[in-house]
A = this chain, B = another copy of it.
């Protein structure tokens, strides 16, 4: 018999308990033995729930139970979650998490502890909700040199953009709707300013290339400054505007990673991905482009990814998966150096540009530094990168 605990009984933690209840038979068959939820650690009182018998408030109960195999961390943030994850790993427990903030900021340290203690620290649920993504990247595409990862990594902003594009709703109103529907937090900054997508592109980048990319080292631009005018012009010219996280490995071994709204050609498989859906395209030198699509958030989808990791960790109790990133990555400043096409609107017409609407032009490819200088020189009101 294998047993695990859930730390943090919110949306995702509750989802994990629910998935175990719904699918106990399938899970036991796959694992070859029963899987027992032994403890739920939460500060709240769970005595009115079906989980009253297994509710605990003291982490040391988990830490000191030699028969407990694994801990699910769905606390969120990087304070208590960091301390409990460290202590769980040091106590020889496998840890599975959906906490992108913690993985992006402390993954390197936590993976090193996991390695030392010969246990697994797995986090498929931290990127793309239930979409299988990290394991395919790390395992199925293991024979590739990964060249680029780009995608819609935040469902909330994609919902807002969909409303802006399809129904001409201004940003502020679309955000209010997203909050009313429970897609956006009361404080939506991490979503709309690109931080959530930024943490996720860092994790993908870390796994793809093994060098650490820290959220504080990459440029993140969200959708708060986006103008409906540009959405309309882009649409008429055969583009959609999407908030993308993007990571590249250049021929010289340096990397780039950033978050920005992009013009995406409507022929791209990313373009039709609307509402709260995520889609992530991975380019490998053997496989070409593959794309992964699904709901990037939600209790049960995210819990599905957690459960996949639980089963994987327990099947690998003897031999842990050797994930990990060690060295810092050699990053370039994407804005300054990466050559891209750019969309410019307002101000004077550029000398060489393709007109895509009233006062709107595509220019380049040119480095972001040049594009910025050009935009200033022309007095442009909008400047956005174009995905090619």
Residue ranges of A at the interface with B (Cβ–Cβ < 8 Å): 15, 19-20, 22-23, 26-27, 29-30, 32, 124, 130-132, 135-136, 139-145, 210, 269, 272-273, 277, 284-295, 298, 300-301, 303-308, 310-312, 315, 318-319, 322
In the complex, residue of chain B having the shortest beta-carbon distance to the beta carbon of A15: B286
A293 & B291 in contact (Cβ 8 Å cutoff): yes
Main secondary structure of the interface of A (DSSP, over half): mixed
Which residues of chain B have C-beta atoms less than 8 A from A140's C-beta? 124, 132, 135-136, 305, 308
Say which residue of B136, B142, B288, B301 sits within 8 Å of A287 (CB atoms): B301
Which residues of chain B have C-beta atoms less than 8 A from A22's C-beta? 145, 285-286
Output the least CB separation between A27 and chain B (Å): 6
Which residues of chain B have C-beta atoms less than 8 A from A294's C-beta? 287-291
Which residues of chain B have C-beta atoms less than 8 A from A32's C-beta? 322
Cα A284 to Cα B294 in complex, Å, equals 11
In the complex, given contacts A22-B145, A144-B307, what are 5 additional A-B residue pairs having Cβ atoms less than 8 angstroms apart?
A23-B285, A27-B142, A130-B286, A287-B305, A288-B301
Output the least CB separation between A201 and chain B (Å): 19
In the complex, residue of chain B having the shortest beta-carbon distance to the beta carbon of A308: B140
20 contacts between A and B (CB under 8 A): A19-B143, A20-B143, A23-B143, A23-B285, A27-B142, A27-B143, A32-B322, A131-B287, A132-B136, A135-B135, A139-B308, A269-B293, A286-B303, A286-B304, A287-B301, A290-B295, A291-B292, A291-B294, A315-B319, A319-B319
Which residues of chain B have C-beta atoms less than 8 A from A143's C-beta? 19-20, 23, 26-27, 303-304, 306-308, 310-311
Say which residue of B135, B277, B292, B322 sits within 8 Å of A292 (CB atoms): B292
